[in-house]
Amino acid sequence: MADEKKKKAHSCRNKLLTGGVSRYGRSAMYERTATYKKKWTVVKKEKVKTPAFVEKQIGGDKNGGKRLVRVKRSPRYYPTDELPPRKRSRKKPFCEHKRNLRATITPGTVLILVAGRYKGKRVVFLKQLASGLLLVTGPMKVNGVPMRRINQIYCIASKTKVDISKVELPDRLTDEYFKKKKLRKPKHQEGEIFDEAKEEYTVSDERKEDQLKVDRQLLPIVKAVPHMKGYLQSPFFLSTKQYPHEMAF
């Protein structure tokens, strides 16, 4: 094992053929990797023995003062029938899905939003969140787009990039942070049929603070590039004879 680490590791001596079959079987591989030469040094791991019972103190009179309690509790249910083993489904839950990101979208890319409340706006891409959605910001001072999540399928990635390497994003910007909060509807009173005074959405102080923090870092970077601020301010539009499939962004 130590020899291997000293020299550079050899490329795989085996080959995978079609059908999931290896070119060389076990005995052939034994010879090829010279396993007979290898010296196996076994390091005995010390088994840490955990006690099965633990002494616990009990208050109160006339109880004996302490009890021996099992560390691992015995199961409260023993099944009478053996159930057939569950097959491993290849369907993964959403949280385990593989997130893709278009190669053209990198931190600092100017994206053109094509759908949603802010369609037509040009925004700066900050990072991709764990759910796969993109975190973008206007910056807010420039075009009124706050820090927001959008799906990359609703963005056109332009070739223009802003240098974001020195921008520090607050750690609390996660999917949970941006998730839509359900507004409480006031409970129906006896005799009142119509909803009165629905709870309105207000921007939290957290959001305002984080928005300022990020924008303060971004604005000087944006202003440093000539015409960039004007570019982010102006909306994207198509005019006559402009065909998106013929345009470069």
Single-letter code of the amino acid located at 228: M
Min separation Cβ 141 and other proteins, Å: 19
Cβ proximity to other proteins, 87 vs 245, nearer residue: 245
CA distance 229 to 162: 11
Min separation Cβ 227 and other proteins, Å: 5
Could you give the count of Cα atoms lying within 13 Å of 110 in the half-sphere of its Cβ?
24
Min separation Cβ 112 and other proteins, Å: 7
Cβ proximity to other proteins, 58 vs 224, nearer residue: 224
Single-letter code of the amino acid located at 212: L
Min separation Cβ 203 and other proteins, Å: 30
Min separation Cβ 159 and other proteins, Å: 4
- Spatial neighbors of 16 by CB under 8 A, at least 6 apart, are 22, 23
Single-letter code of the amino acid located at 86: R
- Spatial neighbors of 249 by CB under 8 A, at least 6 apart, are 112, 156, 157, 158, 159
Cβ proximity to other proteins, 133 vs 156, nearer residue: 156
Cβ proximity to other proteins, 122 vs 148, nearer residue: 122
CA distance 36 to 26: 13
CA distance 103 to 160: 14
Min separation Cβ 224 and other proteins, Å: 15
Hey, how many other C-beta atoms are within 10 angstroms of the C-beta on 152?
Answer: 19
Q: Which residues bind other proteins (CB under 8 A)?
A: 110, 112, 122, 156, 158-160, 227-228, 230-231, 234, 236, 246-249
The SS3 of residue 216 is helix
Cβ proximity to other proteins, 134 vs 173, nearer residue: 134
Cβ proximity to other proteins, 159 vs 181, nearer residue: 159
